[in-house]
Structure 1
Amino acid sequence: MLRPLPGMRLHLLAEARPDRWRRLQSSDEALTSLFVPVLLEEPNGATLEELLADACADLELQQGVTVEPLAVQRAVELTNRFLVNEAQPGKTVQLLEETATLITPDAEGHRVLRASDVVQRWAKRTGLRRELIDPDALWDETAVRRFFQERVLGQEQAIEAVVQP
């Protein structure tokens, strides 16, 4: 964190989750007194779509990756479902950026980020089976049961609650 010298003006824009801001206030009151907090509502609907469209345009310019609309939709669904303590659009943009770095060119040399790429990246990042996170995946009850039995020991009732569709 930068601390201004006496008599110096420093314009700084920072972002913090409410819990982190409260922690900083309790640990360094003098520092937080230098900031003017501006609380923003998490964007949704058309505002979120517009912000994500801008982020996708940036990805195309910076990394040469075209992002399909269904990939954005799937990324929003996954991050909203599993990253409840993080805010939009940052959590979705981060997932799209991570996924874009892994896209290889197709036969024509185009790099296209698809919904399946987002699901694959999310599964690798979280360790969750595709059947649990992808609405397009076929449900293999036996494979999902085996997956949880290997990881959750002595809790058959909990496994059944997860496995039963």
Structure 2
Amino acid sequence: MLPKPIPPQPGQESVWDYPRPPRLERTAKRLRVVFAGTTIAETTQGWRVLETSHPPVYYFPPADILPDVLVATPRTSYCEWKGMAQYHSVRVGQRIAPDAAWSYPRPTPPFAPIAGYVAFYAAAMDACYVDDELVVPQPGGFYGGWITKDIVGPFKGVPGSWGW
């Protein structure tokens, strides 16, 4: 059974108005990721993926990520919309967050603009920001959406939401 969507207030978006299949769109918002006390990624040239019941997933261009903080891992996953994902651990000094970021080296044609771009699990980082607002990680640990005050749910990832 699908949950009852929270009505958005002015200036908010409901994740229940996002499409399925998902939509890729540019964002000029300032995106920032902090790990081990270091800003490891910052951009105003990102993309966001919007999918029904999910908060946006933000993708960073590789040029806006510090060199040598991403370490490719053997983990992969498959998205029916975007294709095969490759995972990366995040490393700063001696601190490592295993499989804390992912990218699509060869995404499907509708998602070709994010080839090589990187998304981060907010829960594995010290902090992630959208326009200086601290994000809340999408619940559940499987999905990588970032929740901000301008997004309303309920969000997939909470217990009992697997079939949404």
Same fold (TM > 0.5) = no
Answer with 1 or 2: which has the greater Rg.
Answer: 1
Q: Which has the higher contact order (CA 8 A, sep 6+)?
A: 2
TM-score by length of 2: 0.24
TM-score by length of 1: 0.24
More helix by share: 1
More strand by share: 2
